[in-house]
């Protein structure tokens, strides 16, 4: 469980990274919309795991690798934005947030179950 301090710092990082990607994201990923879905910070606030979601991209794993290749530059920009709020700028590691994929998969399963249930109810009625 994250402490209030970790949660507050994660919120600051998420806000600032969102602004960075909104203003300068086209330099890293042209024609791709990046959403920061979640940020997890270590107890010492030195490491931040940033979970991303993408719109308008074909290969998400390649896109995450591209963002990770620019992690140092993004960290520098983050540091210039939060320098008065934090002593240490955390090391950033970017991950794919696959929550949407999981939700779509579960929706398909539920639709299939619902369809099978309707078919079995119709057969029993006949």
CATH architecture for the domain at 4-98: 2-Layer Sandwich (3.30)
Tokens 């590691």 belong to 93
- Give pLDDT tens digits for 39-91: 999 999 999 999 998 888 888 889 999 999 999 999 999 999 999 988 899 99
Phi, psi for residue 30 in degrees, rounded to 5: -65, 140
Residue 126 pLDDT class (50, 70, 90 cuts):
low
36: left (phi over 0), alpha (psi -120 to 50) or beta: beta
Domain boundaries, the chain: 4-98
Q: Are 21 and 37 in contact (CB under 8 A)?
A: no
Residue 28 CB partners (closer than 8 Å, separation 6+) = 21, 66, 67, 70, 74
Among 40-44, 105-109, 119-123, which is the least confidently predicted range? 119-123
- What pTM value is reported for the model? 0.78
- Residue 16, φ and ψ in degrees, nearest 5: -70, -40
In angstroms, the CA 22 to CA 34 distance is 8
Decide: helix, strand or coil at residue 16. Answer: helix
- Given this model, what pLDDT does residue 48 score? 97
Q: How many CB atoms lie within 10 A of CB 87?
A: 6
3-state DSSP assignment of residue 94: strand
Residues, the chain: 126
């Amino acid at each position: 469980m994250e402490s209030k301090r970790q949660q507050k710092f994660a919120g600051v990082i998420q806000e600032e990274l969102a602004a960075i990607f909104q203003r300068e994201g086209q330099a890293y990923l042209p024609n791709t919309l990046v959403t920061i879905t979640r940020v997890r910070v270590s107890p010492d606030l030195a490491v931040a795991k940033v979970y991303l979601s993408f719109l308008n991209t074909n290969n998400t794993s390649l896109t995450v690798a591209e963002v990770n290749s620019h992690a140092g530059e993004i960290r520098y920009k983050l540091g210039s934005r939060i320098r008065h709020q934090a002593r240490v700028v955390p090391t950033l590691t970017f991950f794919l947030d696959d929550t949407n994929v999981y939700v779509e998969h579960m929706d398909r399963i539920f639709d299939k179950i619902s369809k099978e249930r309707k078919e079995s109810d119709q057969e029993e009625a006949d």
